[in-house]
Structure 1
Amino acid sequence: MFLTAAAPSVTPHLQPLISDLGLILITAGFAVLLFKKIKQPLVLGYLIAGFLAGNHFDFFPSVKDTHSVEIWAQIGVIFLLFSLGLEFSFKKLVKVGGTASITAITQIITMVALGFIVGKLMGWKNMDCLFLGVILSISSTTIILKAFDELGVKAQKFAGNVIGALIVQDILAILMMVLLSTIAVSQQVSGSELFYSVLKLVFFLTIWFVGGIFFVPTLLKNAKHLLSDEMLLILSIALCLVMVTLAANVGFSPALGAFIMGSIIAETTQAEHIENLVKPVKDLFGAVFFVSVGMMINPDTLVDYAFPVVILTLVVIIGQSTSSAIGSLLSGQPLKQAVQAGVSLSQIGEFSFIIATLGLSLDVTSDFLYPTIVAVSAITTFTTPYMVKLGTPLSVLLEKKLPRKWIKNIQNYSANAEAIKTVSTWQIVLQSFLFQIILHSIIIIGIIVLSTRYILPLVEGSKFGHAVGALITLVIVSPFLWALSLRKIAVDEVSELFERRKQRGPIVVLIFFRMVLGLFFVGFILNNFFSPGIAFLALIGALLAYFIFPKQLHARYHKIERHFLSNLNDREIAKEKKTRRDLTPWDGHMATFDIADASNLAGKTLEELQMREKIGINIAFIKRGEITINVPSRNERLFPGDEICVIGTDFQVKKFKKYLDQNEIEAPESVEESDIVLQHLELKNESFIGKSIRESQIREKTSGLVVGIEREGRRMLNPDSHLILEQGDILWVVGDKKLLASLAKGKLN
């Protein structure tokens, strides 16, 4: 009976979706084998496979149901962006620093403008030109990383700068996709609409990231012992699709949601494992996406638009290389590294396809733009390895051909850009206040929106429902209201400024503004649930509760904060246990500390303490009463009341401070300006050339210590005293200001 009932459901022919998928994968498989054999990027193989399986090639079986393939391709975009997010993480954006940011922003601004201008010169309509500019501005992460692996240059300094620039490009590409969607819908560039779109994006990114970091790592951590690889894969994809749905519901691209969830999971300790599990799924659907891109290639269109393809290829290769190199120079990179980074970024790839697809799906770009971009991408993909190889000889050629004065100015600018910059007390205070106000305001507004949407409708018409709803909302939002209005921020810096009479007014205004903003949010919440009169009475009661229970709110907020920071730093802490972070003196600054009377370090020599070996900091001077010991020797002892000045990176100084706190050392309330400074010196004195650091007697002549050397763009931390000095070396020395100045002028022999 069972077999009889089931028989009618069996069809003699395969559904078009299955046969089309089989054709795509078979064609892609053979293309991949061929391109692997000839050592070319696999993406090109997928594009050619798509062309063969498409309707524009008559001598090969063609895909029948293109609509279904488009759906598979959309799923491919989601998994590509999810995987990209897994490799990204927002903390990487902070770590790449100004160098990568300046390089990426300079490149993108230049290429968007250049692409728009070139499009207009070719007579294209405005929307085509705008999409063209954005498409040409984004380099290909996949192609570059593959080229770096094949050429074995991934460990070189310039490669790190390129990868950092790609990280910044990816997040800016997401932002530009949102802005392009807004412009495409309105068909005009409206400043107010763009501003609203950016604010909306920042709001939801903050809410999703904060909420995601708070809940997702906790879920994965608590369920770790229950999850097999299969279940972890399913859970990860489920989280991805949940965020995709949320993004689509608030008007963003599904790809944005996938990227955000990937970046959230990237902060967990299981990120690498999840990335490996998702990779086969990403590869499968990614292949379908790239094949679908190849299916759009129309030979007739390419023949008709051969001239634009050639022009745009030259624009990408020359424009990307030049703008990226200039951006690297502006960020302070030496000429060689800037040129190497520039030529490495001279192609377009997967993000360009995604943005071109966006234009087609919104029906705002012409049909010829997509295949033209695919052709340009294919050509620049082929040229990428050769451009990377060209970096070193091109930089050597430029060093020979450019005027000597230009080369010297570039070297000096690079050294000056890396010099340690001081941050004023007011900058620290303003940054802290702005961060607290913006972050907690976004969280509070998010809670209010959820309350208005989900709690308020439930209590409508209920006798006591409004009071219960308002109470629930206030309880949830209370720790964040306390942090916004009453939490102490930058305590030491605020105290320092408050001691100066002229600075008290602005500090009081900042504190008052925070309290008024918190009061406004409380009143807004109550006004949603009550009439104005009752809301005012409830506001007084709420304020009394906030001032009566500050300790409880403080404890509750810090419990939430500790949980968030624990989830945020779990992966980093786990990595730190395995490998010690490589740090350089160009990331650092000078900091001063006092030796407390009861310090455990008092009476010990610097050799016994081994601070440099354990933590990586250097001691610039020890001030003992009226006596200052510049660059103390390893036999120097620390005594109670000594003031010591150390030089190190933010990470090293933070670690050193923790080490000092454990030994009862306190930071001084104020620091007098010292004669000991960290300064870079270009080696001009011929008497030093060919000598080791020890033989040059720089330490004895300047009462200083060589803490780093820059040589041909390569930087060395804590160089060995036997290292031979060479012409053109830039030395980083901590020592007496006057003696260093004399050495720089060549007055010391």
Structure 2
Amino acid sequence: MADQSLVFSFFLIFTGAAIVASLALYTRQPLLVAYIVLGAVLGPYGMMMVTDTQLLSEISHIGIIFLLFLLGLDMQPSHLLHMLKKATLVAIFSSLIFFALGYSVGYAFGYTQTENMIIGIAVMFSSTIIGIKLLPTTVLHHRHTGELVVGLLLLQDVIAIMVLLFLYSGSGESSTSDTMAQFSKTIAALPLIIIGAFVFVKYVLLKLIQKFDRFHEYIFLLAIGWCLGLAEIANLAGLSAEIGAFVAGVSIATSPIAQYIATSLKPLRDFFLILFFFSIGASFNLGLVGQIAVPAIILALLVLAVKPAAFRYLLSSISESPKLGWEVGFRLGQISEFSLLIAYIAAGASMIGEEASHVIQATAILTFLLSSYVVIFNFPSPIAVSDKLRRD
């Protein structure tokens, strides 16, 4: 994409986003919905005014990295560790339930055995970006609900990374021995990265911040460099960039500077997240809607019904209240951006057909939209349409 066309694409996206966001606020609709719809309208399967969705998707991924970094800044390490221990069994059993749900729907509509398994895997995970975007950063992150949501999402991310390694192996990119070596590398890398991050922050990063804290531009630059640097290290080690960014945030969460950094980076995060939701809408092939509408709608409705109920039951089994269980369940009541990646990888490796891939994509978009409505109209969130529920 030439520089001029990239600038023109940004003009269309952000001018269009400003217009549809205004309409959404007047009609009391979630902004996330407006961005996805705008992508579908302007993208290559709509008016074809923005065509390089791959580039936009790669750029927008930075928004997810910043989102996890900011989340980490609000997480006290001791609380997070306690919550991860508590939520492990819930994450494992819920993933098995959701896999069975996706597999059953695929089987009912006559997809192949491999396609059924991929659909089941795609349904296992909830959206990190939706779940965290709709959490009030100054309220729930310091309370039990927010910690529980984050703990479950992080555990799901770890499971998703393992699944992606298997998919890369199945696509012929690596042998079984290479895949096992990658697993060993990943398992060893996580604790090393965590320890290294805390040591670096204590003996280098915080000393630099204390010495030059008068220069706000330098603090801003140092925070971005630390976030993206650890994200890239985690990515090279076989983990996700999101996990690296989260560790980067947690490693400085106990410092007084953490809240200043969080406030400074929020506008940058929102810039990239607009691109993320636009690219989701723009990447969807509207021409296949007729073929995949029925299975996608049925699967989306089942996800929206089963996920909250499953989380409510499983969380009750570890002594959480039913009210909290329902809230966590509805906040995690969608499938994930990892599901989109799984669909792209599996289709590219000819493990599933285009129709099955678009069933996953359509289910993701539908559950993103519908679960956003449920949360925004019923629970505290930064973009709630009700003043009573709006919490930043």
Q: When the two structures are superposed, what TM-score results if normalisation uses the length of structure 2?
A: 0.79
Q: Does 1:309 align with 2:300?
A: no
* Corresponding position of 1:122: 109
> Quick check: 1:162–1:344 contact (8 Å CA) kept in 2?
no
| Residue ranges of structure 2 left out of the alignment (5+ in a row) | 381-392
Q: 1:375 aligns with which of 363, 366, 380?
A: 366
* Corresponding position of 2:194: 209
> Quick check: 2:130–2:368 contact (8 Å CA) kept in 1?
no
Q: Distance in 2 between matches of 1:320 and 1:64?
A: 35
> Quick check: 1:323–1:342 contact (8 Å CA) kept in 2?
no
The 1:334–1:177 alpha-carbon spacing in structure 2 relative to 1, beyond 3 Å, is closer
More strand by share: 1
Shift of 1:208: 0.9
Q: 1:187 aligns with which of 163, 166, 170?
A: 170
Q: 2:212 aligns with which of 223, 226, 230?
A: 226
Shift of 1:99: 5.1
The 1:128–1:16 alpha-carbon spacing in structure 2 relative to 1, beyond 3 Å, is farther
> Quick check: 1:324–1:345 contact (8 Å CA) kept in 2?
no
The 1:236–1:101 alpha-carbon spacing in structure 2 relative to 1, beyond 3 Å, is same
Shift of 1:195: 6.3
* Higher mean C-alpha displacement, 246-255 vs 110-119: 246-255
* Corresponding position of 2:385: none
The 1:22–1:251 alpha-carbon spacing in structure 2 relative to 1, beyond 3 Å, is same
> Quick check: 2:60–2:276 contact (8 Å CA) kept in 1?
yes
* Corresponding position of 1:17: 6
Q: Distance in 2 between matches of 1:384 and 1:28?
A: 22
Aligned ranges 1:28-47 → 2 under 5 Å: 28-47=17-36
SS at match of 2:107: helix
Q: How many percent of aligned residue pairs carry the same amino acid?
A: 23
Q: Distance in 2 between matches of 1:193 and 1:26?
A: 47
Amino acid at match of 1:303: G
The 1:130–1:40 alpha-carbon spacing in structure 2 relative to 1, beyond 3 Å, is farther
Aligned ranges 1:122-141 → 2 under 5 Å: 122-125=109-112, 128-140=115-127
> Quick check: 2:30–2:376 contact (8 Å CA) kept in 1?
no
Amino acid at match of 2:222: L
Amino acid at match of 2:60: A
SS at match of 1:276: helix
Q: Distance in 2 between matches of 1:91 and 1:124?
A: 45
Shift of 1:334: 4.4
Shift of 1:210: 0.5
Q: Distance in 1 between matches of 2:104 and 2:197?
A: 41
Aligned ranges 1:72-87 → 2 under 5 Å: 72-87=59-74
Shift of 1:129: 4.0
Aligned ranges 1:330-345 → 2 under 5 Å: 330-338=317-325, 340-341=326-327, 343-345=329-331
Shift of 1:184: 1.2
Q: 1:353 aligns with which of 337, 346, 367?
A: 337
Shift of 1:297: 2.7
Q: Distance in 2 between matches of 1:66 and 1:97?
A: 35
The 1:168–1:39 alpha-carbon spacing in structure 2 relative to 1, beyond 3 Å, is same
Shift of 1:386: 5.6
> Quick check: 2:145–2:324 contact (8 Å CA) kept in 1?
no
The 1:333–1:139 alpha-carbon spacing in structure 2 relative to 1, beyond 3 Å, is same
CA RMSD of aligned residues (A): 3.4
> Quick check: 2:126–2:334 contact (8 Å CA) kept in 1?
yes
Shift of 1:374: 1.1
> Quick check: 1:103–1:165 contact (8 Å CA) kept in 2?
no
Shift of 1:90: 4.7
The 1:259–1:335 alpha-carbon spacing in structure 2 relative to 1, beyond 3 Å, is closer
Q: Distance in 2 between matches of 1:270 and 1:259?
A: 16
Shift of 1:302: 2.6
Amino acid at match of 1:380: S
Q: Does 1:261 align with 2:236?
A: no
Amino acid at match of 1:223: L
> Quick check: 2:43–2:282 contact (8 Å CA) kept in 1?
yes
| Residue ranges of structure 1 left out of the alignment (5+ in a row) | 1-12, 390-749
> Quick check: 2:103–2:117 contact (8 Å CA) kept in 1?
yes
Q: 2:278 aligns with which of 291, 303, 311?
A: 291
* Corresponding position of 1:164: 147
Aligned residues: 365
Q: Distance in 1 between matches of 2:237 and 2:85?
A: 32
Q: Distance in 2 between matches of 1:385 and 1:67?
A: 29
Shift of 1:32: 2.0
* Corresponding position of 2:386: none
* Corresponding position of 1:650: none
> Quick check: 1:32–1:45 contact (8 Å CA) kept in 2?
yes
The 1:126–1:266 alpha-carbon spacing in structure 2 relative to 1, beyond 3 Å, is farther
Q: Distance in 2 between matches of 1:312 and 1:257?
A: 32
Aligned ranges 1:244-255 → 2 under 5 Å: 244-255=231-242
Shift of 1:205: 1.0
The 1:307–1:100 alpha-carbon spacing in structure 2 relative to 1, beyond 3 Å, is same
Shift of 1:377: 2.1
Shift of 1:136: 2.9
Amino acid at match of 1:44: V
Shift of 1:146: 7.0
Q: When the two structures are superposed, what TM-score results if normalisation uses the length of structure 1?
A: 0.44
SS at match of 1:305: helix
* Corresponding position of 2:315: 328
Q: Distance in 2 between matches of 1:69 and 1:141?
A: 19
SS at match of 2:45: coil
Shift of 1:335: 4.5
Q: Distance in 1 between matches of 2:94 and 2:178?
A: 25
SS at match of 1:15: helix
The 1:315–1:47 alpha-carbon spacing in structure 2 relative to 1, beyond 3 Å, is same
Q: Deviations over 1:434-473 (max 9, x none)?
A: xxxxxxxxxxxxxxxxxxxxxxxxxxxxxxxxxxxxxxxx
Amino acid at match of 1:229: H
Q: Deviations over 1:125-179 (max 9, x none)?
A: 4555445334433344665567676xxxx77xxx955423312222223212321
Q: 1:55 aligns with which of 44, 51, 66?
A: 44
Q: Does 1:174 align with 2:163?
A: no
Q: Distance in 2 between matches of 1:209 and 1:86?
A: 14
> Quick check: 1:320–1:342 contact (8 Å CA) kept in 2?
no
Structure of higher RCO (CA pairs closer than 8 Å, 6+ residues apart): 2
Whichever of the two has the greater Rg, that structure is 1
